[in-house]
Amino acid sequence: MNNLLPVLILNEVIILPNQEIKIDLNNELSKKVIIASSKNELNKVLVIAPKNSLESSPSLEDLPRVGVVANVKSKVELPNNKLRVILKGEERVCINKYYRNQNTNVLKCSHNVIELPTFSKTNETAIFRKLIELTKNYISLNKSVSNSILKLLNDKKSLSDITDIITSFLPFNFTKKLFYMETINPLTRAENLINDLNEEILVTNIDRQLDEKLNETIENGQREFILKEKLKEINSELGLTKDSEINQLREKLESLDLDKKTYNKLLNEIDKYFTCSEFSPESSVIKNYLDTVLNLPWHDETVINTDIKKIKNELNETHYGLNELKDRICEYAFFLAKNKNLISPVICLLGAPGVGKTTSAYSIARALNREFIKISVGGLNDSTELVGSRRTYLGASPGKIMQGIMKCKVKNPVILIDEVDKMVKDYKGDPASTLLEILDSTQNKHFVDNYIEEPFDLSKVMFILTANNLDTIPATLLDRLEIIKMDNYMTSQKIDIAKNYLIKDIFKELNCEIKISKEVLEFIIENYTKEPGVRELKRILERLIRKVIVNEPNAKSITILHANKYLVNKNIMYLPEVTTSGVANILAYTTLGGKLSHIEVAKYKGTGKIIITGCAGEILKDSINVVISYLINNYNIDLKNQDLHFHFLESYVKKDGPSAGVSIACALMSLVKNKKISSSIAFTGELSLKGDILPVGGLKEKISTAATEGISKIFVPAENAYEVANISENITNNIEIVLVSNFNEIYESLFK
């Protein structure tokens, strides 16, 4: 006896073994059954179909004794309070006993798997052949039925499975399908199917004869027939007959020089297309497939530029800095000149929005003389968008990868996969796992798109990915990527980019020119932008130039006065003056780069409660507990009858991470000691229970932000000394960086 399964009652709907159905459930009890199925390990239900529609709580005696075990493949909640489920029938079973949950009203049952009788092999083979023969005849008369049914039948060896498949697509009424579902003996089902198939073929033939007679008398039918005949004659006169089309397809196939297996497969498709009626739906499906496959660039490649000098010049003309990326591309070109079969690196450009990831990929393609394809995967949750859908589906097409290959007409382009960190995994598939095969050089040489169905060589493609954050990328995918970090731009770098790139582009677009000094650019950057890249800077400069030229056509240059006049959405950055104790600055790292934030601490009489506000994450809350424990144990701080309130400013922004530990400790110590901390001082570092200050990430971005925010002194973990040494002097010139290994060093400096 099997474990109890939840029972799903489907009125007027039959599911058979080997059949997959999609159904929308609005009955609350049915929804409960599906939910109950997810609680068992197998994720299955037992589907029954009573002869008469049953109310929500039927008598157990009225329920059938034969049902089908079905797998709940997926379930989706729809906006109209319906639940859409996909069920896959697995096996027919005998039901022993029903049980009803008194609380939920959900039925469950015990069942036994049906032991099928054995048949004479000769008899079974004869029946099988007869069923196949009749099915072929029926399909030939009904163009709406797919030939794929025959393939399914040929793949099945069991007479029970074959009868169920045939029954599922025949246009039987509910009573007839119920009979076949409840008939346990497959031989009995087969014998009845032979009779029913003969009857269906006879009825179909009669229907066809009637349709032909009706078409002779129906004016619209006559008109369509005449037009089709005329079209045939016109095509014949123009030499556009199907024979000539077939010859063209075969000539195209011969010219592709494909491997024997692929060649034979496509030749069979051409032959199939020749035998199809030109007005049948299958004919257009085959033709679309052949047009797609035969026009793929199976062997076509562009000649890659390996001249390092030209590559450097091209990259330098379009992008400022990015030395690591430029050097890597030049290295690749150098070795490619020596080895034409060199595998392209799979590069992931990591950086904040606006630092030039997408435009860099385009410039790389242009410098190497390769075609460029951009595929955006942000929010992508369906793997078929990358690898295509099967031809059997309505509206089937190749995936984004093969579509891009077809568009550029070569097999060695640069393909940019944008925002790879924002892909989503759900019931539709896992795009990240699909990318593993696409990017892996050991696998993509024989990449198979679901629509194309034949292996295509992607090893010549240069893949470049972009991401703002590595945390959401699976480790298996990350392992295949060569990460190149694109740092946030400092003010001096933004000035250079604006002078040498942005302003030139704007002048070219607007067909004008006006002088903008370095001082004005610096003022605009520091007072009107707050971004890691230069995307917003370009928009602001373009707006300012338009305003000045339109409103002051005689102006020779743009001044700070112009900026204050026309840039109304001013966003001046400043540090609020600290007027009380219990306040400290926090240097944090986000996907957008470094960020300066603040923490405030207050205390009042209470019972020792800790209140945290300001959208703090779990790690940040843990840091607060660590700080309190450390200070109490090491500095004789008495907080027994005190409630503490920690508030992180900018409550609308989610904050988390351990690097705020030192800032929290300083704010609390400032409150206890009643000593204010200057607003020009900032902290970063994780605090341990022993008072050790542990290293943190994103230090360059944090210090860069501090420099632009007016911070003059930063306390940094001593273990980050190497990162500090490698930060440009342009950033650290006006900042005192104090390396500390224990909190007591900060205590001696600020609170003694």
**3-class SS at 86?**
strand
Rounded CA-CA distance 502/490 in Å is 16
- The predicted pLDDT at position 226 comes to 59
Place 574 in a pLDDT band, splitting at 50, 70 and 90.
Answer: very low
Instruction: Extract the tokens encoding 139.
Output: 């399909």
Instruction: Extract the tokens encoding 466.
Output: 């972009």
Specify whether 57 is catalytic. no
Does residue 567 surpass a pLDDT of 50?
yes
Place 18 in a pLDDT band, splitting at 50, 70 and 90.
Answer: confident
For residue 236, the number of C-alpha atoms closer than 13 Å in the C-beta half-sphere is: 6
In the set 389, 623, 659, 663, the catalytic residue is: 659
For residue 121, the number of C-alpha atoms closer than 13 Å in the C-beta half-sphere is: 0
Instruction: Extract the tokens encoding 391.
Output: 């031809």
| DSSP annotation of 499 | I
Comparing C-alpha atoms, which of 706, 707, 702, 672 is closest to residue 685?
702
Q: Is 726 exposed, middle or buried (0-12, 13-18, 19+ CB in 10 A)?
A: exposed
Place 1 in a pLDDT band, splitting at 50, 70 and 90.
Answer: very low
Does residue 573 surpass a pLDDT of 50?
no
Specify whether 702 is catalytic. yes
Mean pLDDT over 440-445 rounds to 84
- The predicted pLDDT at position 86 comes to 92
Place 568 in a pLDDT band, splitting at 50, 70 and 90.
Answer: low
Pairing mode, strands 593-605 and 642-648 = antiparallel
Instruction: Extract the tokens encoding 336.
Output: 């490619």
- HEC string of 217-268? HCHHHHHHHHHHHHHHHHHHHCCCCHHHHHHHHHHHHHHCCCCHHHHHHHHH
- The predicted pLDDT at position 572 comes to 47
Comparing C-alpha atoms, which of 653, 714, 650, 706 is closest to residue 684?
714
In the set 623, 663, 702, 704, the catalytic residue is: 702
- The predicted pLDDT at position 56 comes to 55
Rounded CA-CA distance 368/371 in Å is 9
Question: Which H or E element spans position 715?
Answer: strand 713-717
C-alpha radius of gyration, the chain, whole number: 36
- Each as own residue / partner, the long-range contacts of residues 142-151 (CB below 8 Å, 24 or more positions apart, any chain) are 142/204, 143/280, 143/281, 143/282, 145/169, 146/282, 146/392, 147/282, 148/392
Place 158 in a pLDDT band, splitting at 50, 70 and 90.
Answer: confident
Mean pLDDT across the chain: 83
- Which residue intervals of 374-472 are DSSP H helices? 384-387, 400-408, 431-439
Each residue's pLDDT tens digit, 20-65: 999 998 888 888 888 888 877 778 999 998 877 665 566 777 788 8
Mean pLDDT over 246-260 rounds to 82
Give me the DSSP letters along 580-640. SSSEEEEEEEETTEEEEEEEEEEEEESSS-EEEESSB-HHHHHHHHHHHHHHHHHH----T
Mean pLDDT over 299-304 rounds to 90
Mean pLDDT over 319-334 rounds to 87
Phi-psi region of 28 (alpha: psi -120 to 50; beta: other; left: phi over 0): alpha
- The predicted pLDDT at position 690 comes to 92
Each residue's pLDDT tens digit, 613-663: 877 778 888 888 999 899 888 888 888 888 899 998 875 456 667 888 999
Each residue's pLDDT tens digit, 200-218: 888 888 877 776 666 665 5
Rounded CA-CA distance 213/229 in Å is 18
Does residue 602 surpass a pLDDT of 80?
yes
- The predicted pLDDT at position 521 comes to 87
Each residue's pLDDT tens digit, 538-558: 888 988 889 888 888 888 888
Each residue's pLDDT tens digit, 475-498: 888 888 899 988 777 777 788 888
- The predicted pLDDT at position 463 comes to 93
- The predicted pLDDT at position 322 comes to 82
Mean pLDDT over 305-329 rounds to 87
pTM given for the model: 0.57
Question: Which H or E element spans position 47?
Answer: strand 44-48
